[in-house]
Structure 1
Amino acid sequence: MREWFPTVAVEDRGAGVLWGAQLAWAGSWEMEVFRRDDCAGLSGGLADREFGHWGKRLAPGEILKAPTAWLACVRGDIDDLCHRFVAVQERVAIEQAPAVERDLPIAFNEYCQTWGKPTHDKLVALADRLRGSGVRYLVIDAGWYTNTGGWGGHGSWEVDRTAFPQGLAATAAAIRERGLVPGLWFEMETVDQGSQPFGELDHLLKRDGVPITVGSRRFWDLRDPWVRDFLDQRVIGRLRDDGFGYLKVDYNETIGLGCDGVESPGEGLRQHVLAIHDLFRRIRREIPELVIENCASGGHRLEPSMMALASQASFSDAHELVEIPIVAANLHRLIAPRQSQIWAVLHAGDDARRMRYVLASTFLGRLCLSGDLASLASAQWELVREAIAVYRDAAAVIGHGFSRRYGPQLDSWRHPQGWQAVVRHDAGQALVVAHAFADAPRLLRVPLPPGSWRVAQRFANPSTEVCGDALEIAVEGDFSAAVVLLRQA
């Protein structure tokens, strides 16, 4: 998705009913709500010739399978409608998840510590630090391959032997020896100008006969059997043979309106998207226990067809910004929190309030730590361990439940004022994740689901109390947070 999710809702306020539709498609799409006479209409699907440069000729008896779409109708509000769609994704996620994913393990990604320059020694030191902490995945991000200056040079996927003298298998084994699951980053659909495949013109996507080039990247033609064999060897083979249990897939450019090879650019795009789906399925088929994280510039593949092929997806690249919890809370209406990976990037210079604010945000989805972990003071590290312990207790309701957001509408995400709280509940548990922004009131009163509740766990703010049908939170100050896990009394 770019700017818009393939989801639409129409509200009948008189009847208190909402109608909605959601499309599972990672290529160009269109939806239109229109009025005809006294009726409202809704149409949608693949983007047509006008909006998506798409046309397709079908021979007699030939079949075109359109993307899956879900329709829903509810009596209630937008949260009730969105829950119907998210529940479908949640069910698929649970059914296809590797066994290791069932209890929502915590990850550490080293990118915001090494900044594209990982080495064997750095990874082993990190694994030593994380041993016994409650973190399960240790992910090696970009920069492990040759000809790099960080991101650049990817495409050949040959190990940088200066950084990893014994190869990646030795590093993965060392990580496993310390009780962690090793992960590895690929941007496997693109090639960078610093790599040899950048010149493999016969195997790259073209438009009007010219290789599609965006910035320093070109794109493999995933419909090409030669490309499929290359990626099977260099990507699937690397993950399997070197002992990795986690794959982070990135994708940082777009091919645009389509490509050559068939009767229209839009049809080329449609076939390319299907080939992307097939690549993900091959990976899962060859390594069934592999955990797949779908990143895509931090959150540009959050639609249902791609979510169904991954265990997690990075929700945003807003790692260091105050809008982290705002984006994360809004996504409860569109993707399952058990799949929404949220980074907490920590630094030695952070004060306790900033650390609590960021760590609390991760309770809105999947907790992923990053940053300069080795430089954290003992008190800072204890705060991280406290968050991990509470998160483990809250994992069940994060993984399955119903979410509702409270608080005023925010006029600015970059400079937010006021507050928000997300209440997620299921099977006798409720999780409240509240954030105060600039000029927040000193006391928040957050409605609770029906029932008698007691506080089971707190993080970030001890000044919380159940008062009747609400949770009252004494706000610590601007840009502060509170996490409260409640159980039925």
Structure 2
Amino acid sequence: MRTIEVLENKLHIVYEVGDYDELRLMHFSRLPYRAEDVDASCKWRFRAMEVHATGENQGDHHGPKHTGSNPGERMKYLSHADTRNERGRKLAIELGEARTGLRATMHLQFYDGVSVVRSWTELRNESDAPIPLEYVTSFALTGLGKEGLAPWERKLRLSIPHSTWCGEAQWRTHTLPELGFQNVNDYMMKRISLTSTGTWSTAEHLPMGYLHNDESGIGLLWQIEHHGSWHWEIGNINDQLYLHLSGPTWTESHWLKQLRPGETFVSVKAAIGSAPGFDAAVGEMTNYRRAIRRPNEDNRRLPVIYNNYMNGISGDPREDTLLPCIDAAAAVGCEYYVVDCGWYSDGNWWFEVGDWQPSAKRFPNGIGAVMDYIHAKGMVPGLWLELEVMGIDSETAKRVPDDWFFCRNGKRIIAHSRYQLDYRNPEVIAYVTEVVDRLVLQYRVGYIKMDYNINAGVGTDIGADSPGDGLLEHNRAYLGWLDGIFAKYPSLVIENCSSGGMRCDYSLLERHSIYSASDQAEYRKNAVIAAASASAVTPEQLAVWSYPNRKSDEEAVIMNMASALLLRVHQSGELEALAPEMTALVREGIAYYKSIRDRIPVSLPIWPTGMPSLDSRWTSFGLVDPAGDRIFLVAWRFESPDETLEIPLPAWRGRQAAATMSYPRERAGDCRWNAEAGTLSVRLPAMNAARAFEVKLNEESR
């Protein structure tokens, strides 16, 4: 028996090569490995990967679970390489098996100083016959509950990130028995799993999860980095719990890949980290997300964006209605102005997407005149696009062939009155590239709001081994196109929006510098979504609507502004119709944001009163400056009868600090730092109110 042991960035990882060259992942944790935590008779279940092919025996009592796979069970260790690259340490382990000629490379990429690894699997067919793949793990770990003495039913808690349109990033925490998962035998059919099928990756859940061991105090946080179909599952096998992370599968998402002789298939990527608690784990994942993200100026500068859609003029932009909005946005300090949907349509903006020619009816002087007006006001202009679809009334869609679109069984797929474009088609690539070129070069656009408002289902069967295969290859072709656009126009900002937050994943967010958190139009619910979404997106990428309208009272204006202050300001609403005192509050908020925005891209998120939920009566969210001597906080009071909230900051217990209410400066509210208790007391005298605070350590306490 041999071992491959890695200690890197506080992560302890142990592989074991058995007597028959089987590879086992015995340990992945912030804690050191204790061999005595694993019964020797169970080691055979710690398989380091699963891969299943049609016609092979799934050789255990598995039910719906992805265990007992073949040729996965027959894969043998061949060699490994432990190297370094510009990002950090890199481990690559080679496996193979003779019967099918399948070879595999398991990749683990580390990032210096970050307790998170990126994991993926590469498969190669070295035989002379195709191998029909149905399932492959990007990461597989067994022994989730092995640390500690208590049974896993009592010590493990699983946090699941629920999501929906206008209700994104809602984490709920359960013991495993509360989810109906109890240790009744060695081969339970029950599993806990999350699956997303289709082209919206986060319509029901974020592609994440967090498992905490109350006895050891250590948790495991993961994310799957894919904007198509994905799956993760937790199950038991021989009294051990496992976690499998994967992209599309045959069972869940109609994915089958005929791996032909000489071909290579690469799984989707996943990221896994370990840390002492949820906030710490998200902090590590935040640093990882920053490490993998495309370098760009937008995430350094954090300019303030105005978009006219939300609680404003919506999908009905016209030259005469836009000009006063542009004036108002410039007056409060906005730096980008984005004209949202409808600019291309004389009629209904929804059905006519796809032709992307400006409406002469809406813009009698040409849309270029409006773009020039935005420039003249000192702002960068932007336009809305939805380049992955064409509406059923699009003239272009009527004249191009079916192979431009997703099809199944000889028919175009229609979803919510739209056709899904297929980015594997070079004619589609040429068409959408021309649209972007025209906007950038002719209209001098510096910002594109890239929306995506449908789920086109399992995929397309044109030129594919299966619908899921067609979808995955389209996903990858779209990313390749996006990479080319950013290489061509490196200063162009392209927002990731999918009916708000329906594609909150790091295959897209590795590339996009900014992400629209939600379409939620009710500002109190939007506040909760904003605060919670920093668990899934770095703060400097997380765009949050601030959209007061002419009916908003003072507290509504303040909450709108406060909810965006520690993230990205997506200003909207009816600024041109606000009373002067309300406009002053918006202007004050934007000025304060500009004074602290250089700290946002380097700070880490915290939720000192727990994760926000849509039924919260009070909640809070903060950013910790990397120097550790300054915390920015926002507290929200909703329908609570209590005027005060104690916000625990235990890391600062016993240290002297100064606390101030930083926004708004001259409105009711108060705060006090309690050094002995390590808490910040805040008082908000009105319900449905929010305030921003800063806590700074005194010089002697640093």
- The corresponding residue for 1:483 is 692
Structure 1 unaligned regions, length at least 5: none
Query: Residue 359 in 1 paired to residue 561 in 2?
Result: yes
Is 1:408–1:419's contact at 8 Å kept on the other side of the alignment?
A: no
Cα gap change, 1:409 to 1:210, in 2 (>3 Å)? same
How far apart are 1:408 and its partner, in Å? 6.1
**Matches of residues 222-301 of structure 1 in structure 2 within 5 Å?**
222-261=423-462, 262-301=464-503
- The corresponding residue for 1:59 is 260
Query: Residue 311 in 1 paired to residue 513 in 2?
Result: yes
- The corresponding residue for 1:473 is 682
Is 2:608–2:620's contact at 8 Å kept on the other side of the alignment?
A: yes
How far apart are 1:417 and its partner, in Å? 4.5
Q: Distance in 2 between matches of 1:131 and 1:17?
A: 48
Tell me which of 308, 318, 328 is aligned to 1:110. Answer: 308
**CA deviation profile, 1:202-245 (whole Å, cap 9, x unmatched):** 22211111100012111112111111111111233223321011
**CA deviation profile, 1:28-51 (whole Å, cap 9, x unmatched):** 111111222232211121221101
Larger Rg: 2
Cα gap change, 1:408 to 1:45, in 2 (>3 Å)? closer
- The corresponding residue for 2:635 is 434
Cα gap change, 1:386 to 1:130, in 2 (>3 Å)? same
- 3-state SS of paired residue (1:296): coil
Query: Residue 166 in 1 paired to residue 365 in 2?
Result: yes
- The corresponding residue for 1:13 is 214
Is 1:223–1:272's contact at 8 Å kept on the other side of the alignment?
A: yes
Cα gap change, 1:279 to 1:168, in 2 (>3 Å)? farther
- 3-state SS of paired residue (1:307): coil
- For structure 1, which segment, 460-469 or 139-148, has the greater mean C-alpha deviation from structure 2 after superposition? 460-469
Tell me which of 529, 534, 538 is aligned to 1:336. Answer: 538
Q: Distance in 1 between matches of 2:282 and 2:537?
A: 9
- 3-state SS of paired residue (1:57): strand
**CA deviation profile, 1:280-311 (whole Å, cap 9, x unmatched):** 22221221110111110001111111111111
Q: Distance in 2 between matches of 1:129 and 1:165?
A: 22
Is 1:236–1:286's contact at 8 Å kept on the other side of the alignment?
A: no
**CA deviation profile, 1:246-284 (whole Å, cap 9, x unmatched):** 110000001111111211011011011112212322221
Question: What is the TM-score normalised by the length of structure 2?
Answer: 0.66
Cα gap change, 1:77 to 1:239, in 2 (>3 Å)? same
**Matches of residues 377-392 of structure 1 in structure 2 within 5 Å?**
377-392=579-594
Tell me which of 338, 346, 353 is aligned to 2:548. Answer: 346
Aligned residue identity for 2:303: P
**CA deviation profile, 1:187-211 (whole Å, cap 9, x unmatched):** 1111112211232342221111110
Is 1:101–1:291's contact at 8 Å kept on the other side of the alignment?
A: no
Is 1:54–1:265's contact at 8 Å kept on the other side of the alignment?
A: yes
- 3-state SS of paired residue (1:102): helix
Is 1:117–1:144's contact at 8 Å kept on the other side of the alignment?
A: yes
Q: Distance in 2 between matches of 1:429 and 1:136?
A: 27
Is 1:183–1:244's contact at 8 Å kept on the other side of the alignment?
A: yes
Is 2:286–2:604's contact at 8 Å kept on the other side of the alignment?
A: no
Whose relative contact order is higher, 1 or 2, with alpha carbons under 8 Å and at least 6 apart? 1
- The corresponding residue for 1:77 is 277
Q: Distance in 2 between matches of 1:158 and 1:263?
A: 36
Aligned length: 483
Tell me which of 421, 440, 455 is aligned to 1:220. Answer: 421
How far apart are 1:391 and its partner, in Å? 1.4
**Matches of residues 146-225 of structure 1 in structure 2 within 5 Å?**
146-199=345-398, 200-202=400-402, 203-225=404-426
Structure 2 unaligned regions, length at least 5: 1-201
Tell me which of 650, 671, 679 is aligned to 1:464. Answer: 671
- For the aligned residue pairs, the C-alpha RMSD in angstroms reads 1.9
Q: Distance in 2 between matches of 1:11 and 1:462?
A: 36
Q: Distance in 2 between matches of 1:482 and 1:273?
A: 41
Is 2:566–2:632's contact at 8 Å kept on the other side of the alignment?
A: no
Is 1:418–1:437's contact at 8 Å kept on the other side of the alignment?
A: yes
Cα gap change, 1:92 to 1:125, in 2 (>3 Å)? farther
**Matches of residues 22-61 of structure 1 in structure 2 within 5 Å?**
22-61=223-262
Is 1:90–1:338's contact at 8 Å kept on the other side of the alignment?
A: no
More strand by share: 2
**CA deviation profile, 1:379-416 (whole Å, cap 9, x unmatched):** 01001011111212231333222222133677x72xx3
Query: Residue 140 in 1 paired to residue 140 in 2?
Result: no
- 3-state SS of paired residue (1:252): coil
More helix by share: 1
Is 1:127–1:180's contact at 8 Å kept on the other side of the alignment?
A: no
Is 1:433–1:481's contact at 8 Å kept on the other side of the alignment?
A: yes
**CA deviation profile, 1:84-132 (whole Å, cap 9, x unmatched):** 2222112344x522x3542211111011322212123333332322335
Is 1:157–1:235's contact at 8 Å kept on the other side of the alignment?
A: no
- For structure 1, which segment, 54-63 or 469-478, has the greater mean C-alpha deviation from structure 2 after superposition? 469-478
